[in-house]
Amino acid sequence: MSKLLLSMPLIWLAALASAGQTADIIFADRFEFRPGLSDWNESTCQYDDDGTSHGTGVLAVSSIVLAQDSDPNDNIDDGTTVYYPTLLETSSCTFKLIGWGNGTSGSGGAYYPDYFSHLASHGFVVAVAHTNFAAASDQPLLTSIGLVMASNDDPSSVLHQKIDPAFGLMGKSQGAFAVARELAEPDATAGVLIAAGSGEENALSKPGLFITGDHDFAQPSVISGFDLATGEATLAQATQAPNPIGNPAAGHLDLDNRPGAIELSTSFMRCHLRDDPNTCDYISCASCQTEPWSDFRTKNIPAELSIEESGSNPDREG
């Protein structure tokens, strides 16, 4: 089987995408759902809260495997797993899609559950490319996006006519390098690059969030990616000191499940993919952050999206 599924006929893709689509409720015993904090607005197809994406969203999460690894002997898992809010199955809304790229240690479809569940619980469909060699593979994130869009056209799929064609890309380490490369796709709207940046040849012209940590060995690459970006860009660097949210370490692997990184990434995608209330204000405001970043910078933010810096945010809960 070819690793580049996007080049295959759509009808074949649809058949593969339908395989194994038995949805399971997941994460219910892993995360605390917080009814009443915020809610999905079915009339606007947006998620309404203070914009911080703080805490797991109120939406239950399900998952399906769209494609298994085509060749278990080649050490490159080209499968795809999709996480989505369970209400998608009965909602009249179409949902925004995010393609995810794993880091080197993250092969498979469940290595970063904190990211996947958080995004889906706030109303996103997340297509996880299984490979842990995303930087060296041929468009793994777009391949997974292609599988989801094939399911969107398949009447037998739970995703049928539920997916908006515009999408975002997000990845950790090697997956972040893939984001920088694949964000050139016309329908790609925005990217989140965690613990890796982009080179001059892949400088981001679309909105980008660059996340690193005080002790992340990839920090120079992340900062360089931010500096090279010609579009809207945000840099957030996690602090390596004991801090109020209980994350004393800020190394490369610590960003696998750092709550502040997960929440800011979610708000960033909510702003640029769905224009949820308060989110664009939040992601451009250093003093409004729930995470005590040691470095937080923005550039090329449109004036209408930037709010005046202050010691508090009137839209943020105390």
Total residues belonging to the chain: 318
Residues of the chain with pLDDT under 50: 1-37, 308-318
- The CA distance from 100 to 77, in Å, is 14
Strand order in the sheet with 208-213: 24-26, 61-67, 80-85, 125-129, 95-101, 163-172, 188-194, 208-213, 233-238, 295-299
Q: What's residue 18's pLDDT?
A: 35
Report phi then psi at 237, rounded to 5: -115, 120
CB-hemisphere CA count at 13 Å for 110?
A: 6
Q: Please answer whether residues 250 and 239 qualify as being in contact, where contact means their C-beta atoms are separated by less than 8 angstroms.
A: yes
Q: How far is CA 22 from the centre of its chain?
A: 23
Tell me, what's the pLDDT at 77?
72
The per-residue pLDDT for 245 is 55
pLDDT at 38: 59
Q: What was the pLDDT predicted at 314?
A: 34
pLDDT in tens, 82-95: 999 999 999 999 99
Report pLDDT for 69: 74
pLDDT at residue number 50: 84
Question: CB count, 10 Å around CB of 83?
Answer: 27
Beta bridge partners of 188: 167
Structural domains for the chain: 5-305 (3.40.50.1820)
> Residue 311: how many CB atoms within 10 A of its CB?
6
